[in-house]
Copies of this chain bind each other. A is one copy, B any other.
Amino acid sequence: MDIDARTSKLSDPLETLLGYQLRRASNVMMAELGSRLQAIELRPVEASILTLIDANPGCTQSDLGRSLGIQRANMVPLMVGLTKAGLVDRAPVGGRSQALRLTRTGIERLETVRAIIEAHEARFRRLFAPELREAALQVLRSIRQEGEGASRQDDPEQPTGD
């Protein structure tokens, strides 16, 4: 390294790598959302779960796990936490399944979650030229399909690194 470089930033050949930039950008957004959600004592994954239950009342925690790429075993402490916090209600539905619904408190909390997420999204959406926004989401979805593979669309609990 030359003398100048020792006191300034490194030359960074990773700057042009999609995978690297995706990861760093994702970490930034997750950290920002996490710090906003701390105000209501929720983590991003818990906000996602509340959002999904609201959109799919009666779903099971296995359903949620499949949708979010979280394994059954790892859903357990999450759902216990949300239930103990009084945000989610569980009712037996056949087999060992439990139908999930938001409690009144959960519905109220979700209102705040929505406001936080909307402000968070707006802050970063700004950075995309308007005509790029839908295309960007579409590409990100196609990356997921590339990894999750058409071959196991209904295959639950496949490790993806999520």
A residues neighboring B (CB under 8 Å): 1, 5-6, 9-34, 44, 48, 51-52, 54-59, 63-64, 66-67, 69, 99, 117, 120-121, 123-125, 127-129, 132, 135-137, 139-144, 146-148, 159-162
Contact = CB atoms under 8 A, between A and B. Distances in A.
A52 B13 contact: yes
Number of copies of this protein chain within its complex: 2
A56 B54 CA distance: 50
Contact of A162 (B27, B142, B144, B159): B27
Contacts of A124: 18-19, 143, 146
Contacts of A9: 67
Contact of A34 (B5, B142, B161): B161
B29 A23 contact: yes
A32 B25 CA distance: 18
Contacts of A24: 69, 140, 144, 162
Nearest to A21: B140
Nearest to A100: B1
A52 to B, nearest CB: 6
Given A1-B59, A19-B121, A121-B17, A127 B139 contact: yes
B20 A23 contact: no
Q: Chain B CB within 10 Å — which of A19, A55, A117, A146 has the most? A: A19
Contacts of A58: 1, 5-6
A7 to B, nearest CB: 10
